[in-house]
């Protein structure tokens, strides 16, 4: 959907630390960039009170942004589900949670990124 629909947007709601140290989705092969907006800020992990305002600002250049497909991504799908629900309640019509997240669930060795999620699925990503 991100590649097929020019209006589709990936909204990564993880923390700045996660973007910096774990990596981010690389949408450059399809000519896009993910929108990075913290749902919660590390270390307090309080919900970002400006989330909807920051989302609206990030989507401002997209025609009919309230109707555009928005795909929400976090580490494992929990925070992104909350962010997608909040955006839906605010009037965004097509919000989707990426349920396995960027790193997925823990594997048997208690590591993420090997069983499910963006990384384990072989989707493009980069690390700084």
Task: Establish if 2 belongs to a structural domain.
Answer: no
The CATH number linked to 24 is 3.40.250.10
Task: Establish if 3 belongs to a structural domain.
Answer: no
| Position 115 pLDDT exceeds 90 | no
Q: Give tens-digit pLDDT for 52-79.
A: 999 999 998 776 889 999 999 999 999 9
Task: Establish if 105 belongs to a structural domain.
Answer: yes
Task: Establish if 101 belongs to a structural domain.
Answer: yes
Task: Establish if 61 belongs to a structural domain.
Answer: yes
| Alpha-carbon span 103 to 45, nearest angstrom | 19
| Alpha-carbon span 7 to 36, nearest angstrom | 16
Chain length of the chain: 128
Task: Establish if 93 belongs to a structural domain.
Answer: yes
pLDDT, position 64 = 82
Give residue 121's region: left, alpha or beta (phi > 0; psi -120 to 50). alpha
Q: Give tens-digit pLDDT for 7-30.
A: 999 999 999 999 999 999 999 999
pLDDT, position 28 = 97
Task: Establish if 4 belongs to a structural domain.
Answer: no
Residue 82's domain comprises 9-126
| Alpha-carbon span 12 to 75, nearest angstrom | 9
Rounded to two decimals, what is the model's pTM? 0.93
Task: Establish if 36 belongs to a structural domain.
Answer: yes
Q: 15 near 38, Cβ under 8 Å?
A: yes
Q: 38 near 102, Cβ under 8 Å?
A: no
Number of domains in the chain: 1
């Amino acid at each position: 959907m991100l590649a097929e629909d020019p209006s589709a947007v990936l909204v990564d709601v993880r923390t700045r630390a996660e973007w910096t140290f774990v990596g981010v989705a690389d949408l450059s092969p399809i000519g896009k960039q993910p929108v990075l907006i913290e749902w919660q800020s590390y270390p307090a992990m309080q919900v970002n009170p400006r989330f909807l305002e920051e989302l609206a600002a990030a989507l401002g250049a997209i025609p009919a942004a309230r109707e555009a497909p928005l795909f929400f991504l976090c580490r494992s799908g929990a925070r992104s589900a909350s962010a997608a629900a909040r955006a839906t309640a605010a009037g965004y019509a097509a919000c989707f949670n990426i349920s396995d997240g960027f790193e997925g669930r823990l594997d048997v060795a208690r590591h993420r990124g090997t069983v499910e999620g963006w990384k384990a699925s072989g989707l493009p990503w980069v690390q700084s």
